[in-house]
Structure 1
Amino acid sequence: MELLTPNMDQWIGIAVDRTASELAVCIDSLSGSDRYFYSVPQSVLLASSLKVLSLCGCRFESGLDIKLPHLQKLSLSHSCFTDKFSFHQILSGCPVIEYVKVSFCIWMDTLLSVSSLSNLKYFEFLYCDGIDNVQIDVSDLHTFSFAPSLGNWPRSINLATCKALKELKLSGVRDTANFWHQALTFQIQALEVLEFRSCHGLGSIRISSQRLKRLAFRGCRHFSGAEIDTPNLEFFECCNCDNPFIPIKASDDIKIHLRFSLSGKTVDWVVKLNQFLLKLRFFQDLKFIVYHHSKNMIIHEKLSEIRFSSLCHLMRPKCICISSKSYKDLLDELFPSVFPKSLFAMYCSTKMIEILSQKMKDLGKDSTLLHKLVGFEVILSKDAKHPSDPATEYFIQAHSTARFEIATIILNWKYNVYKHSVTL
């Protein structure tokens, strides 16, 4: 870092002297378990021309003068503050700031306080150490995202004055009942987007809103359910939750995305799921995927043709995805963590095979995956191979009709030793 700093100071000085409107600095300085930070020079924090500033791996020293009169967007990640007043001073020096994102930073204060920023519309604060109390006093804030570090949910989050809040995204909520009643009950009527991620131990909650358009639960273990009365809800997502089935009063045009394990589910639960899906106006357009992380995947083009009674034979260790999303979006979401050896596609349109073949080609070019696809083979119906998994074979046989062709795609994966272990 001692060798790097003089050059960094010079390069940044050139950018500031040329009145750059956007500056991004990312220092990847990991050495074993240690991290070395680049000290932000005073010139950056007095650069009146800056409108966008993104800093990663940087340190904010005490006593810096901060005057960024035109800064609109600020992103800070994997950085540290040497005293508890630094972040407040930064925001105070950005009078017209509209967007702030802070993630994985070393924090020196137990209080996160944001106020007196009339233009601030978007504030995201993720995985920073030591926050015990959150006080957001921004009347025109539209979006607030918060995730604690290491599951340490703060004792209080006060959003009482955020009357214009439209989107609320929370990760790691622990004391759901108190938080829901103290911080959200009075605001839920104004929200249009509400998302929960990795909120373990979510108790039963009631969500009633005429304005809510998007509701999502992701990775919420031991979730006991929710009473949802949202007649204008347009999109509902529930992924990797212990209780993915939630009755909904929602718009007839609602789109859904459900992803869950069949392990532990009863036949009655499967029946209720089927009844819920049949009520949806766009039931015919829903996509259906059954998968095991490292064995077989089944894609059926028509959910309306699925015999839900057959799912009882897939209880373990299969997972199911039922979604309004496109096949491309679904596969983009699944394949970073799912790498089946065989993919069985039940289709009535060759367009699906074209989509799958193109996706396999794209995967072969993607060097960022932990398991890299080094080859694949598409085998059409007349030469299709039988799956080695009895449950998969039973499902395919149960749904084999004259309307559907079956294609088998054999996938050859290789562990990618060159995948970066650290991503900033």
Structure 2
Amino acid sequence: MFAAQELNVLDLRELKLELPHDGIKFSSLRKLKLSRMFLDEHFIRALCASCICLEELTLHQCRGLASFQITGPKLRSVWLNQFFHEIKTLDTVAPNLENLHIAGNSRDLLEAIKISACKALKSLHLNCVGVTDEQDIFSSLSNLETLHLFHCNALKTMKMSSDRLECLVVRWCRNLIDVELDTPNLTIFSYTTHYDPQLPTLKLKASMLLKVQLGLYPAQSTWFDSHWYSKLLKFLGNFNQSKAIDLSCDSEKVIVIPKDMRKNLVPPLYGTDSLHIEFVCVKNQNYSVVDVLDSLLWIFPQLSTLSFSRCTKLSTLKFIYHGDAIDEDYEKICCASLLLKRRWRHNKLKEVQMENFEGAEKRKLRNYLSLMIISRILQQRRQRIRASSPKNTQHTHMAVLLRNPNNIRYIRDDLTFPNNCSL
């Protein structure tokens, strides 16, 4: 078998291979997959030396290797899956390698990897790999476009500067406390924390087209205190320019910011247009959807679309505003304050469309939204009166505004819902 010089593709499973006396002669082999095999370092070294045309290499659940080196002038893709405890170190020397996927297991981490020689690497996936701050493997990968880090618990800080990176996924890296990304072309950022409410300090420079995916799954609801919410708001503030955010959690307490904390804080995400939130196996099935919505609309004041996924049910709220052009008079008011200018659309809410809400939940939402729109209309009128009237006549104007039945009718007329959800 080892002398099949014309062989292009080879898939072997559940064998114990030994190096033949006359060597390996797979000179034409392009794809090789070895699954549940017992190997040794001499065999791997001879294999890499003889397969000069090898482009794809996959080792799946292989045993017998403590440390080894993978080489190949034409290697494009390497997949190393579910290694057992024998393997501790890996050295990859493949100048044309573009895709590297390494997945260990949670009990036996791969302690060290060397991939700095893979200058052409575009996609890197590390799962249960003992990457440390001292190794600094990311700085040498200038062509990296996609990076996935799962269960890399030895990693505490991460600093990257790259104009090539487009996708970064970080999940369950429990000890990661500091992330600094200078990645102007980053369009996908995904971060998930599980059983540990810690959020890293994040400094982010990314594309204006950035899409954000956040997963927050705490083990204990008692972790939600003022410290957690302060960290959460600071973390979310990095995504102010992100138009679309997907958020998943298993407790409504994750995202319900206490009202007493909101008084002295500025909502962090004025730039977000679309929010999708998924409740995964919610621990408290009797949570208040009004409390959740109230908090989300404070965090994301300018949403056009807000959707909820619960089990298999998808419910949606669509917010419609009085046009996007700022009228001239109000623009003069807003120009003195960037915050007021950002709040312009927030205060011009015209209509809310509700889809797939039922029963008591629908009634509670409808009452909450009606009061919210009326409040914003009154707030808008107050601002106009303050801008156009002397201080000593402002209170008189407001009293006339509230007493005038025509004005009250106008406020009610301004509040519109679709036919299937009328007041």
TM-score range, shorter chain: 0.5 to 0.7
Q: What is the CA-CA distance between 1:224 and the residue it aligns to?
A: 0.9
**Larger CA deviation: 281-290 vs 135-144:** 281-290
Residue aligned with 1:239, SS:
strand
Match of 1:258 among 214, 217, 229: 214
TM-superposed deviation, 1:238:
0.8
Q: Counterparts of 1:201 and 1:268 in 2: how far apart (Å)? A: 26
Cα RMSD (Å): 4.1
Flag the structure with higher strand content. 1
Alignment deviations for residues 5-26 of structure 1 (CA, whole Å, 9 cap, x no partner):
xxxxxxxxxxxxxxxxxxxxxx
Q: Are the structure 2 counterparts of residues 76 and 403 from structure 1 closer, same or farther at C-alpha, using a change threshold of 3 Å?
A: farther
Counterparts of 1:143-292 in structure 2, within 5 Å, are 143-154=99-110, 156-174=112-130, 176-180=132-136, 183-185=137-139, 187-240=140-193, 242-244=197-199, 246-261=202-217, 263=221, 264-265=223-224, 266-282=228-244, 283-292=272-281
Q: Closer, same or farther in 2 for the Cα pair 1:120/1:381, shift >3 Å?
A: closer
- Secondary structure, in 3 states, of the residue corresponding to 2:173? coil
Q: Which has the higher contact order (CA 8 A, sep 6+)?
A: 1
Relative to its length, the structure with more helix (as a share) is 2
Distance 1:73 1:406, change over 3 A: farther
2-structure distance, mates of 1:97, 1:52: 9
Counterpart secondary structure, 1:176: coil
Answer whether contact 1:296 1:343 (CA < 8 A) is retained: no
Q: 1:160 to 1:277 in 2, by over 3 A?
A: closer
Aligned to 2:70: 114
Given residue 281 of structure 2, which amino acid in structure 1 is its aligned partner?
H
How far the C-alpha of 1:211 sits from its partner, in A, is: 2.0
Flag the structure with larger Rg: 2
Deviations 1:332-379 (A, max 9, x none): xxxxxxx94x74623459xxxxxxxxxxxxxxxxxxxxxxxxxxxxx9
SS at match of 1:68: coil
Q: What is the match of residue 68 of structure 1? A: 26
In structure 2, the residue matched to 1:87 is 44
Normalising to structure 1: TM-score of the pair?
0.58
Aligned residues: 295
For the Cα contact (< 8 Å) 1:188–1:208, is it kept in 2?
no
State the TM-score, normalized to the length of structure 2: 0.58
Deviations 1:84-128 (A, max 9, x none): 322223333322111112121112x3221122x211011122332
Out of 83, 87, 94, the position equivalent to 1:128 is 83
Contact 2:147/2:169 (CA < 8 Å) preserved in 1? yes
Query: What's the secondary structure of 1:257's corresponding residue?
Result: strand
Alignment check: 8 A CA contact 2:94 2:117 kept: yes
Contact 1:118/1:138 (<8 A) preserved: yes
Q: How much does 1:161 deviate?
A: 2.4
CA contact (8 A) 2:189 2:210 kept: yes
Contact 1:122 1:144 in 2 (8 A): yes
Residue type matched to 2:178 in 1? G
**Aligned partners of 1:293, 1:57: CA distance in 2, in Å?**
42
Structure 2 Cα separation of the partners of residues 256 and 156 of structure 1: 30
Q: Percent identity among equivalent residues? A: 20
Note closer, same or farther for the CA distance 1:288–1:403 as it changes in structure 2 (3 Å cut): farther
Shift of the alpha carbon at 1:179? 2.0
Counterparts in 2 of 1:178 and 1:49: CA distance versus 1, 3 Å: same
CA offsets 1:364-422 (integer angstroms, 9 cap, x no match): xxxxxxxxxxxxxxx9556x4659xxxxx988986688658999xxxxxxxxxxxxxxx
Query: How big is the shift at 1:147?
Result: 3.1
* Structure 1 gap ranges (5+): 1-41, 312-323, 332-338, 350-378, 388-392, 408-424
For the residues of structure 2 that align with 1:222 and 1:381, how far apart are their CA atoms?
Answer: 40
Partners of 2:367 and 2:237 in 1: how far apart? 24
Which residue in 2 is equivalent to 1:58? 15
Return closer, same or farther for 1:274/1:134 CA change in 2, 3 Å cut-off. Answer: closer
Ranges in structure 2 where 5+ consecutive residues have no aligned partner: 245-271, 300-304, 320-354, 373-415
Verify the 8 A CA contact 2:183 2:206 in the aligned structure 1. Answer: yes
- Measure how far apart 1:158 and its partner are: 2.4
The reply to whether residue 346 of structure 1 matches residue 346 of structure 2 is no
Aligned partners of 1:306 and 1:399 also within 8 Å: no
1:308 aligned partner: 296
Change (3 A) 1:155 1:269: closer
Conserved 8 A contact 1:310-1:395? no
